């Protein structure tokens, strides 16, 4: 009980753990597993640096800076997740074809009709031909 109270008192006012810390520790573990087979001193220093940085972030009192770092990391992760979800959604869509307008680069969702068709971009008004295969 006394140790727990002292730990709570020590961590008071410190940042603690977040998604970026978790990712740093997972990355350190992955690099460490790779280093088991490669046996490189440089990779071992990378593992140590990742772990030290994760603990530095955890014990930091500069809470706003750590929140900014975590927000930046979460934005990047969410961007990648959204892109992969969008890719999977388009890949599984059997009734539409997605083509890019050559003029304004807008992505158009067109009906899946096999053949060559002429379409007009709703954004820029450019008319262009689209070939749809199976």
In the block, residue with structure tokens 């597993």: 33
Asked if residue 17 lies in contact with residue 58, where contact means CB atoms within 8 angstroms, the answer is yes
CA atoms of 11 and 58, how far apart (whole Å)? 9
More confident residue, 90 or 2: 2
Residue ranges of domains in the chain: 1-92, 93-134
pLDDT on residue 44: 97
In this structure, the chain runs to a length of: 134
The per-residue pLDDT for range 53-71, each reduced to its tens digit, is 999 999 999 999 999 999 9
The per-residue pLDDT for range 64-107, each reduced to its tens digit, is 999 999 999 999 999 999 999 988 988 888 899 999 999 999 99
Interior CA angle at 43 toward 40 and 47, to 5°? Answer: 140
């Amino acid at each position: 009980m006394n140790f727990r109270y002292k730990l709570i008192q020590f961590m008071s006012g410190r940042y603690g753990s977040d998604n970026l810390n978790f990712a740093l520790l997972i990355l350190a573990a992955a690099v460490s597993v790779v280093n088991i087979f490669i046996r490189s001193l440089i990779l071992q220093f990378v593992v140590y640096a990742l772990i030290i940085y994760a603990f530095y972030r955890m014990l930091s009192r500069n809470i706003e800076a750590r929140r900014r770092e975590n927000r930046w990391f979460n934005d990047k992760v969410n961007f990648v997740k959204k892109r992969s979800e969008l890719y999977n959604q388009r890949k599984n869509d059997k009734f539409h074809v997605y083509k890019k307008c050559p003029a304004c680069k807008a992505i158009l969702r067109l009906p899946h009709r096999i053949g060559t068709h002429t379409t007009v971009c709703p954004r820029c008004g450019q008319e262009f031909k689209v070939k749809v295969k199976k």
